[in-house]
Amino acid sequence: MTENTSVVLARRPQGKPQPEDFQLSQSVLPTSLKPGQLLLKNHFISLDAGFRNWMDEGSGDAVLPAMAIDAPVMGLVLGQVEQTEHKQYTVGDWIMARLAWQQYSITDASDFLIKVPVDDGYPPNYFLGVLGDTGLSAYFGMLDIGKPSDGETVLVSAAGGAVGSIAGQIATLKGARAVGIAGGAAKCARLVAELGYAACIDHHGDVAAQLAEHCPEGVDVYFDNVGGPLLETVLDHIALGARIALCGAVATYGDPQPGPSNLFQLTTREARMEGFFAHTQVERYPAARAELAGWLEQGKIVAPEYRLHGIEQVGPAFCDLFAGRNFGKTVVEL
Amino acid sequence: MTENTSVVLARRPQGKPQPEDFQLSQSVLPTSLKPGQLLLKNHFISLDAGFRNWMDEGSGDAVLPAMAIDAPVMGLVLGQVEQTEHKQYTVGDWIMARLAWQQYSITDASDFLIKVPVDDGYPPNYFLGVLGDTGLSAYFGMLDIGKPSDGETVLVSAAGGAVGSIAGQIATLKGARAVGIAGGAAKCARLVAELGYAACIDHHGDVAAQLAEHCPEGVDVYFDNVGGPLLETVLDHIALGARIALCGAVATYGDPQPGPSNLFQLTTREARMEGFFAHTQVERYPAARAELAGWLEQGKIVAPEYRLHGIEQVGPAFCDLFAGRNFGKTVVEL
């Protein structure tokens, strides 16, 4: 009889999630699997702010149904196959999957689920970060939509987050001048020192004034992880032909707000705003990962991580994302 | 001594322009031109809602300075060269130019100014409408950004306006199902009967319900001439991979409003929103015009026009655009 600890949604978060919105819950794993099922032992839980979107009543969409109260919270997990009744998977396989925050997961593999090639020698947790959905979001969003070129100014919000930390480095690698936006002088200093940003805008200060200072020719690419009022401020500073990659909108998750009143800037600046997901481009993962891995090996990018330990830290770690406590990819090791 | 009647900005419009915002003013033309100048006798004034943008205090930008009180109102005119001291232009040339609402214009040709090929046999006024900036806006916006394909649903706001009337027809021509948005049952009926729209949504009614009815699979392309709250409603109905061409935002000119609170739909639907101008693509005008002219000759598109007469009608005709009184391209013949 194996016990399984889950993190369940104790109540629906109001605005930013709080640790009390989550609660631990015990259950017992079934003694045997059904045909087609596999049992994963999860080693890492990935914390991704976007999942906040499915915590509200009636928030279900094509990706996920709305999460239910007292049910395990959905997220991304990384684990190893411990038992299998599915012929495509073998005991010991490393799997990244869109599954609940639990020590063990049982899935029939119809969920979003990817076998990760850990035998390539990377730490498995890289497949949740730089070589996983967040690194790939940075990669696809920056290269497919942002398309930064030599000398252009690339602005990244939540610049020290899991996605932003990689997005900024890719922009620099492509010859652009990366400018970050983050909260607080200490975090801004780290962004410049550790992640190669040319400058960093502190969103606790006057953002418009700092944009005028650090992006005097305007913003050619805005890689947006935040949305909300910040997007409106940035729109006033976009250059002709700007590209805005809408990756996330952490400012508005669970807290819908009026959008930018100056969207017409897209017309007067002949600019483009485009949203995207990494997970719909699974067939491109191997090639994208190979390029990211090459950059890691050559020391051209680094992969900062904010790691906590133990299933009881999963809820608090999720809340840390909204408080901006993380630097790099946030994971909890079980 | 030749008298010149101008329409001047009597006061800054509050929100939608009113006829009293404009006033006639008399002046006398100089007896001779300076080197490099040319004198145009204007035959048509084009009315284009976008010029409302430069009527507010401090509204100047890269395209135009803010218009001044008591100065002639800027717009697009079509006229013939009556005298010339500029060697690139000959008496009798037809010129379309971004110049003021006046019977006669004097320009040194440094303004936005295009010689129109009226010897091709088209009525000169076509070069303000279907073969001019509005037709070309429809053409570039629909084909470059919208890219409608067979069986897709293309939604057009201000569907009976100068741009919308052509944009909808181009979508139909490309095999898409064009759905219009316009004000009032009578106008909607004309859109279906005369412009080939498959259906028309009356924005005086419940737009969301009509969108659900007429675009049950979602909107693949939204050609937006209106902006404002309508854009928010439409965003809730976009299909995966939708393209939104931001051509105009007549709802917000002179009346800034919060933007859509659901911009994140662009991410969840992996959709794109892009603004554009026709006038920055002057080098593509001849090829685009040739294709539009071909469609006109083959009867594949029609070019509806709302025509008024006399310089005193220019101000009222401009106001008609905001009241939705026009059907097709609005011009005043002088």
> DSSP letters of B226-254?
--HHHHHHHHTTEEEEEEEEE---TTTTT
CA dist A191 → A181, B37, B99 (Å): 9, 56, 50
What residues of B are in the A interface, CB distance below 8 Å? 61-63, 227, 231-232, 240, 246-249, 252, 256-277, 280
- Of the residues B261, B274, B280, B282, the best mutation for testing chain A's interface (the one with the most A CB atoms within 10 Å of its CB) is B274
Q: Looking at the predicted structure, is the pLDDT value of residue B90 above 80?
A: yes
Encoded tokens for A134: 């967040």
Question: Mind listing the pLDDT tens digit for each residue in A239-268?
Answer: 999 999 999 888 887 777 889 999 999 999
Q: Is B323 helix (H, G, I), strand (E, B) or coil?
A: helix
Query: Averaged over B161-190, what is the pLDDT?
Result: 97
CATH 3.90.180.10 domain residues, chain A: 3-129+304-333
| Cβ-based burial of B312 (10 A; exposed 0-12, middle 13-18, buried ≥19) | middle
Encoded tokens for B70: 């008591």
CATH 3.40.50.720 domain residues, chain A: 133-279
The predicted structure's pLDDT at residue B79: 96
Choose the closest CB to B266 out of A265, A267, A275: A275
Which H helix or E strand runs over B266?
helix B265-268
Residues of A in contact with B262 (CB under 8 A): 256, 259
DSSP character at residue B35: T
Query: Averaged over B37-65, what is the pLDDT?
Result: 92
Q: Looking at the predicted structure, is the pLDDT value of residue B255 above 80?
A: no
CATH second-level architecture of B3-128+304-333?
Alpha-Beta Complex (3.90)
CATH dotted code for A133-279: 3.40.50.720
The predicted structure's pLDDT at residue B299: 96
The predicted structure's pLDDT at residue B98: 94
CATH 3.90.180.10 domain residues, chain B: 3-128+304-333
Q: How far apart are CA B6 and CA B311, in angstroms?
A: 8
Residues of A in contact with B264 (CB under 8 A): 227, 246, 249, 252, 275
Query: Averaged over A306-320, what is the pLDDT?
Result: 97
The predicted structure's pLDDT at residue A175: 98
> Which is it for strands B74-84 and B38-46: parallel, antiparallel or unpaired?
antiparallel
User: Are A247 and B266 a contacting pair at CB < 8 A?
Assistant: no
Average pLDDT over chain A reads 94
Q: Looking at the predicted structure, is the pLDDT value of residue A284 above 90?
A: yes
Determine the distance in angstroms separating the CA of A33 from the nearest CA of chain B, rounded to an integer: 34
The predicted structure's pLDDT at residue B62: 78
Residues of A in contact with B260 (CB under 8 A): 259, 263
Q: Quick check: A183 and A162 in contact, CB under 8 A?
A: no
Q: Quick check: A310 and B315 in contact, CB under 8 A?
A: no
Query: Averaged over A12-28, what is the pLDDT?
Result: 96
Percent of chain A with pLDDT over 70: 100
CA A144 to chain centre: 17
Determine the distance in angstroms separating the CA of B93 from the nearest CA of chain A, rounded to an integer: 31
User: Are B259 and A256 a contacting pair at CB < 8 A?
Assistant: no
Residues of B in contact with A133 (CB under 8 A): none
Query: Could you report the predicted ipTM of this complex, rounded to two decimals?
Result: 0.88
Question: Mind listing the pLDDT tens digit for each residue in A83-117?
Answer: 999 999 999 999 999 999 999 999 998 878 888 88
Determine the distance in angstroms separating the CA of B280 from the nearest CA of chain A, rounded to an integer: 9
Q: Quick check: B241 and B247 in contact, CB under 8 A?
A: no
**Which residue bears the tokens 């026709």?**
B278
Q: Looking at the predicted structure, is the pLDDT value of residue A61 above 80?
A: yes
DSSP character at residue B138: H
User: Are A61 and B265 a contacting pair at CB < 8 A?
Assistant: no
User: Are B262 and A260 a contacting pair at CB < 8 A?
Assistant: no
A21: left (phi over 0), alpha (psi -120 to 50) or beta: alpha
Average pLDDT over chain B reads 94
The predicted structure's pLDDT at residue A287: 96
User: Are A63 and B263 a contacting pair at CB < 8 A?
Assistant: no
Question: Mind listing the pLDDT tens digit for each residue in B109-166?
Answer: 887 888 888 777 888 899 999 999 999 999 999 999 999 999 999 999 999 999 999 9
Q: How far apart are CA B273 and CA A273, in angstroms?
A: 5
Q: Which of A247, A322, A317, A227 is nearest to A15 (CA)?
A: A322
Determine the distance in angstroms separating the CA of A25 from the nearest CA of chain B, rounded to an integer: 31
CA A193 to chain centre: 22
Query: Averaged over B212-218, what is the pLDDT?
Result: 98
The predicted structure's pLDDT at residue A22: 98
Choose the closest CB to B267 out of A263, A265, A275: A275
Sign of torsion over alpha carbons B295, B298, B302, B308:
positive
DSSP A2-31: -EEEEEEE-S---SS--GGGEEEEEEE--S
DSSP A150-194: TT-EEEEESTTBHHHHHHHHHHHHTT-EEEEEESSHHHHHHHHHH
Count chain A–chain B contacts defined by CB atoms under 8 A: 105
CATH second-level architecture of A3-129+304-333?
Alpha-Beta Complex (3.90)
Q: Quick check: B122 and B154 in contact, CB under 8 A?
A: no
CA contacts within 13 A on the Cβ side of B78: 23
- Of the residues B63, B145, B267, B282, the best mutation for testing chain A's interface (the one with the most A CB atoms within 10 Å of its CB) is B267
**Band of the pLDDT at B243, cuts 50, 70, 90?**
very high
Considering the entire predicted model, what is its pTM?
A: 0.90
Question: Mind listing the pLDDT tens digit for each residue in B310-321?
Answer: 999 999 999 999
Choose the closest CB to A227 out of B248, B263, B271: B263
CA A104 to chain centre: 22
Q: Which of A56-70, A119-133, A248-262, B4-18 has the lowest mean pLDDT?
A: A248-262
CA contacts within 13 A on the Cβ side of B232: 15
Query: Averaged over A190-200, what is the pLDDT?
Result: 97
Encoded tokens for A258: 């009026």
Q: Looking at the predicted structure, is the pLDDT value of residue B103 above 80?
A: yes
Show Cβ contacts of residue B159 under 8 Å, excluding neighbours closer than 6 positions.
B165, B167, B168, B180, B181, B182, B191, B195, B197, B200
Query: Averaged over A310-314, what is the pLDDT?
Result: 97
User: Are B246 and A267 a contacting pair at CB < 8 A?
Assistant: yes
